[in-house]
A and B are shown apart, each in its own frame.
Chain A
Amino acid sequence: MTLAGWVFMLCSLVLVLGLAIFCYVRVLFRPAATEHMHAPLDIDTGNGQP
C-alpha cells in the first residue's frame, strides 16, 4: 500500500466517521429543540390558579 493510498483511506475514514460521531453525539446526548424550547402557551405562569 502506497503513502497516497494510506492518505486517501485514512482521510476518507476520518471524514465519514467524524461526521457520524458528530451527528450521533448531537442526536443522542443533546436534548431536542422541542424539548428545551417552549412556546409562550407552554409556560405556566400560575396566574390561572385560584
Chain B
Amino acid sequence: MSEHFIKNIEIKNFKCFKDFKAEGFGRVNLIGGKNNVGKTAFMEAVYVNVHSQNTKQFTYSTYCLKMVREKINILMQPNINYKDKFMEQSNQMLTESNIHKTFFEIKEIDSVKKYYFNLSDKEILVNFKEFSFDIEIVPNIIFIDNFGLSTDEIINNYSAIQKKDEEPYLNNLLEKLDSRIKAFKVIYEKPQCKVNDKYFEVTEFGDGVRHLISIVTSLYKAENGYLFIDEIDNGVHYTMLDELWRVVLDVSEKLNVQVFATTHSKECIESYARVAKKLEDEEITFIELGRNDNNQIESITYPYEWLIDEIEQNHGVRGW
C-alpha cells in the first residue's frame, strides 16, 4: 500500500461524530450503513484530514464540504455569505490519521474572536478579522457528490485522461453503459457525447452518464491522491456495476489513488466483492457504520477475505 494512503482515523466533534475511530483501510474502501449514520460525514472528515498541510488547504476543504451540502440553497439564494459559516461547522473538529492531525477551534480571547489551528502539530492562532480565507486547491484530492461533478470540473479532470491518451478507455465504458454512445469529447467548452453521428451535451443524458464520466475523469485526475465518491452507484443500472468497479479498482491501482465511496445498495456491495475477487484485488475494504446502545457511531472494517465470506454467506453488512 502506498505511503500516502490513510489507514486509520480518529474523528472528534464533527457533525454526527463525537468520538469515533476506524482503522484497517485499504486502497479502495466502500462505506455502508443506515440513513443518517454518517457515511458521507465520515468521508468528509477524511477529506478534511488529507487537506491539512496548511490553513489554506484546510479552509478549502471546509468550504468545499459546505458547498456540496448547501448546493441547492446556494442556487436559490446566491447572495448568502458562507465565508465564516463553513468554518464554524468545523469548530472543535479533530481528525487524526496515520498521515495528519487536524484540530480547529473558534476561540474568544479578551473578547476577540480567533481561529486556532493545529495542523500536524503546527499551531496557528489568527484573529478572525485578519483571517484571509484564502484557499489552496489540491488538484488530486477530489470529492464527487451524488449529483456528479460540474461541467467545469469534468472538463478540467478530462484533461488528465487526455494527457495519458486514455480517451478510448472512457469511450469504451460509456458505450457499455449505453451502446448508442460512441464517443465523449469536450467541444466548445462543453462535455458532449456522440450518438448517431451527432454530439449532444452531457446534460441531455441521464444521471448515470454524468456520474460515470465524473468518476472516471476524477480517477485520472486524482493520480497519487484521493477520490471520494458519495453514492457511487447513483444512476447506474445494476448490470453496469461490475464494469464500474472494474474501472475503479483497475485505475486506482494503476494511478495509486485511494478511494472512499458510499452506497446503500446491496447489489453494489455484492458487485464490489465479486469484482475484487475476480481481479484478486485484496487491497479493498468495506466499512460498515452503525450506532451503539448509547447512539454513538461505531464502525466495523471488513478486509478483503472477510468481506467475501460475509457476502457468500449472504450476511447483511449495510449497518445495524
Q: Do A and B bind each other?
A: no
Residues of A within 8 A of B (CB): none
